[in-house]
Amino acid sequence: MSSKGLLPACLTVAAAAVGLFSLQKIYKKKKCCDHDLHHTVEINLPDWAKEELHSHANKIYKTDEEMMQLAIHLSARNVQEETGGPFGSAIFERNLKTNEAKLISVGVNRVVVLSNCTLHGETVAIQLAQSHLQSFTMRGLNCPMENERRFELFTSCEPCAMCLGATFWSGVSRIVCAATKDDAEAIGFDEGPVFKESYEKLEENGIQVTRLVLQKEAAAVLQDYGRRGVIYNSTHESEAVE
């Protein structure tokens, strides 16, 4: 090859190398999102939680403690079964005439298992309750019993910033919490911007707030998970799972 032909040949080889490198980059990028665009999102309970819901559906609840025991039991079982994070919730329909309550939905954390940061125990319970009621709110339902009942959310841990917002819009008339924000943050979870004023806003909107019901029992579940589970939105960067 003459020196005149050497330059174009080198350029061709260089161009081919750049092209190959780019293709590799595209391939690598495609590998981590190598699927069709999804237009539906699956929100589900693990099978054991569906069984819990059915087995408790006809029970009459009378005290905060027995309702909270169910939320904490769900949080502990979610850890044991390795079906999500250490958070459980339950929504009850209270009959205001008898003051008795019945379970209408449960929720457990499904963030890591379903690759969805919005699936906390509270949001799962709210979405399944509203799907059951066929209504985007649990208040102002067009129902003859409307003035005789209300819906209450029991959660094994005080809500994060997202779940406070979801509670605000959900139409529940009461939120009852066990473990505290500090308990969750002690094992590395970031609960986001939650302030004293956030709770005041709930109460201004007619949502009664009750805290620290069986707090020690719920905090023990968090501590157990903290020793072995994934902290998916950690306050400590090195532990965060993306």
Contact 93, 101 (CB under 8 A): yes
| CA separation for the pair 200, 198 (Å, rounded) | 5
| CA separation for the pair 77, 221 (Å, rounded) | 9
Q: CB under 5 A: which stretch of 19-27, 112-120, 181-189, 228-236 binds Zn ion?
A: 112-120
Q: Is 120 in the site for Zn ion (CB under 5 A)?
A: yes
Residues contacting Zn ion: total by CB under 5 A: 4
Closest to Zn ion by CB, 53 or 160: 160
Could you tell me which residues come within 8 angstroms of residue 23 by beta carbon, excluding any fewer than 6 positions away?
none
Could you tell me which residues come within 8 angstroms of residue 232 by beta carbon, excluding any fewer than 6 positions away?
85, 111, 112, 117, 240, 241
Least Å distance, CB 145 to Zn ion, is: 30
Contact mark string toward Zn ion, 128..167, x via CB under 5 A: --------------------------------x-xx----
Least Å distance, CB 138 to Zn ion, is: 18
Closest to Zn ion by CB, 73 or 120: 120
The number of helices, as runs of H, and strands, as runs of E, in the chain is 8, 5
Query: Where do contacts with Zn ion occur on this chain (CB under 5 A)?
Result: 120, 160, 162-163
